[in-house]
C-alpha cells in the first residue's frame, strides 16, 4: 500500500487527564486512489489529516507514505486548506510559484512549472490577476495549482469546498474528478459532506466521534462520475447508507 496508517492513536493532555481524539485508526491507501474520510465534529478528521501531513505526530502508531515513516512535513505531500491561503498582494502566478520559491527552485523553472499547473487548473489567462479579482472557486484552484507545482505524490485536502456556494462547489467537484483522472495523483480528503464524499471518492472511511474511530470502510462503484450520476439509485443508496451510519453513531454518542 502507498499510504499506511497503523494503529494510530492521538491524545492531548488536559487538566482532567488525556483527551483521546483518535483511537486505533488503521487505513490503507493504494497509489492513485481518491479517499475521503467523513465524520461529524469531534471525529478527529483534521487531526488525522495533520498526522499524514507530518504537521503533528501520533501519540502511538505510525503513518507511512511510499515506504517512509512520516514525522515531519515534506514536499511529497501537498496540502489544500479550507481557506484559500493566498497572499493578497501577490499575483495568481506569484501565488502559484510561492511553494517552489520556498524550496529554492530557480526563478525560470518555477515560473515554467507554476504556469504549467495554472494551465492544468484552467487559469492561464488569470496569471497577472490578484486574488481579490477571483471567485471563490478560482481562488481554490490557484491553491491547488500551487500545491501541484511542487509535484507532490499525495494531495491532502482539508474540507476544501465547504466555504463555496452550491453551484461553485458542484463545479469544483467535477473539476477535481477531471484532475484526478488526468494526473492519477493520490488524494486524501476530509469532509463532513456525505454527498460530496460519495461523488468524489472511490473509497470512504466513515469516522465515529469522541474518540475518532473508523466505523466502516465503503467502496464506491458508480456507473460514471458526471453530475447526472447524483440522480442514480446507486448514488442514493451509498448516500443513505453513509448518512444512516453517521446518524446511528450520533445516537450512540449522545446516549
Domain 1-76+154-230+239-255: assigned CATH number: 3.40.50.300
Looking at the DSSP bridge assignments, the partners of residue 19 are 12
Question: Which triple of cell numbers denotes residue 202?
Answer: 472511490
Average pLDDT over every residue of 46-64: 95
- At CA 182, angle to CA 70 and CA 64, rounded to 5? 10
Using the predicted structure, report yes or no on whether residue 249 has a pLDDT greater than 70: no
53 within 8 A of 156, measured Cβ to Cβ: yes
145 within 8 A of 120, measured Cβ to Cβ: yes
Average pLDDT over every residue of 80-102: 91
| 252 — pLDDT class (breaks 50, 70, 90) | low
pLDDT at residue 15, rounded to an integer: 86
Q: Provide the residue count of the chain.
A: 255
Classify 169 in phi/psi space as left (phi over 0), alpha (psi -120 to 50) or beta. alpha
**Residue 211's CB: how many other CB atoms inside 10 A?**
20
Q: What percent of the chain has pLDDT over 90?
A: 71
Using the predicted structure, report yes or no on whether residue 16 has a pLDDT greater than 90: no
Can you give the residue ranges of every domain in the chain?
1-76+154-230+239-255, 85-151
**Residue 82's CB: how many other CB atoms inside 10 A?**
15
Tell me the average pLDDT of the chain.
91
Using the predicted structure, report yes or no on whether residue 222 has a pLDDT greater than 80: yes
DSSP letter for each residue of 93-105: HHHHHHHHHHTT-
Amino acid at each position: 500500500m502507498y499510504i499506511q496508517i497503523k494503529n494510530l492513536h492521538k491524545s492531548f493532555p488536559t487538566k482532567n487527564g488525556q483527551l483521546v481524539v483518535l483511537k486505533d485508526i488503521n487505513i490503507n491507501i493504494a497509489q492513485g486512489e481518491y479517499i475521503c474520510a467523513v465524520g461529524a465534529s469531534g471525529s478527529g478528521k483534521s487531526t488525522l489529516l495533520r498526522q499524514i501531513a507530518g504537521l503533528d505526530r501520533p501519540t502511538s502508531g505510525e503513518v507511512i507514505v511510499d515506504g517512509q515513516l512520516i514525522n515531519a512535513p515534506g514536499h511529497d505531500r501537498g496540502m489544500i486548506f479550507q481557506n484559500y491561503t493566498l497572499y493578497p498582494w501577490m499575483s495568481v502566478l506569484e501565488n502559484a510559484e510561492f511553494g517552489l520559491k520556498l524550496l529554492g527552485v530557480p526563478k525560470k523553472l518555477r515560473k515554467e512549472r507554476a504556469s504549467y499547473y495554472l494551465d492544468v487548473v484552467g487559469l492561464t489567462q488569470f496569471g497577472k490577476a490578484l486574488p481579490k479579482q477571483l471567485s471563490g472557486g478560482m481562488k481554490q484552484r490557484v491553491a491547488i495549482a500551487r500545491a501541484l507545482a511542487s509535484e507532490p505524490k499525495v494531495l491532502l485536502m482539508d474540507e476544501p469546498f465547504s466555504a463555496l456556494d452550491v453551484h461553485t462547489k458542484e463545479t469544483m467537484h467535477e473539476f477535481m474528478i477531471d484532475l484526478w483522472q488526468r494526473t492519477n495523483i493520490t488524494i486524501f480528503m476530509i469532509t463532513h459532506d456525505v454527498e460530496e464524499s460519495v461523488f468524489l471518492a472511490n473509497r470512504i472511511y466513515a469516522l465515529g466521534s469522541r474518540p475518532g474511530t473508523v466505523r466502516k470502510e465503503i467502496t464506491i462503484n458508480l456507473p460514471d462520475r458526471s453530475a447526472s450520476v447524483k440522480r442514480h439509485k446507486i448514488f442514493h443508496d451509498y448516500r443513505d447508507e453513509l448518512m444512516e451510519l453517521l446518524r446511528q453513531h450520533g445516537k450512540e454518542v449522545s446516549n
